[in-house]
Amino acid sequence: MLTLVNRCANRFLAIHSAQRSVVFLSSESDAVPSKKKKKPPEIRINLIENTSLNVISLEGAKKLAAKKGVQLVPVDNPAHWMHSGNRTPYEFLTPSNKVSKKQDDFKAQGFKGLKTTIFSSTIQENDIATKIKQLSKWIRNGYVIEVAYDVSEKSNDIRAKVENTITDVAKLPGNIKRQSSSLLRIQYVPEKTLNEKENSPVTRDN
């Protein structure tokens, strides 16, 4: 009788252990694995340097531009070959490239080009008069001029003198291109383009 009881007990324990194992395995298999967040698709561009084309990620090109101290910009009026792979063409723009590009832009608008100058906070009165005379000559000859003023006690007075001198030949007020606590850069555009000057009637004094 005792033997029969032991057999029943052992059988019960075996069945119970098997059920616990099944439940444990089931709970493991039912666990939903966490999904990794999908990264946004990488944007690839065509980086144009002189006549060469390199395929690179937009993010990588931005880092490279920051390392070189230049600006990454889309190519203006790109040639057909620059669109290889239907990717947007970009190029690096250096400070000298910027000036050259501005020159081309102003020439396309009908002006002679761009001239720049700066009035420092330590400039002498005779130098102020000389510079203003030169600015007036440039703008009368059809140049767009960009004037940088070091912000100081006399910068407002210098600006007033400049604008009074060119008031008849420039569009005023000028366009403020940059303004900070230490620098003010203003762009003055001639009143007329070169073509408009050529087509203007000549007035003669009686």
CA 128 to chain CA centroid, nearest Å: 34
Which one-letter amino acid corresponds to residue 24?
F
Helix 125-140 with 155-165: angle, nearest 10 deg:
40
Instruction: Return residue ranges of the chain for CATH 3.30.110.10.
Output: 95-198
Contacts of 45 (CB under 8 A, 6+ apart): 55, 56, 57, 58, 61, 87, 88, 89, 90
Please state the φ and ψ torsions of residue 41, each to the nearest 5 degrees. -60, 140
According to DSSP, the residues that pair with 12 across neighbouring strands are none
What is the per-residue pLDDT for 199? 67
What is the per-residue pLDDT for 19? 52
**Mean pLDDT for each consecutive 10-residue tract of the chain (206 residues)?**
55 56 49 68 89 92 87 84 91 77 85 89 89 92 91 87 89 83 88 75 52
Q: Cα separation of 197 and 169, whole Å?
A: 11
For the whole prediction, is pTM greater than 0.85? no
What is the per-residue pLDDT for 137? 93
100, 101, 173, 167: which is closest to 139 by C-alpha?
A: 167
What is the per-residue pLDDT for 33? 61
- The CATH T-level fold of domain 95-198 is Translation Initiation Factor IF3 (3.30.110)
Contacts of 12 (CB under 8 A, 6+ apart): none
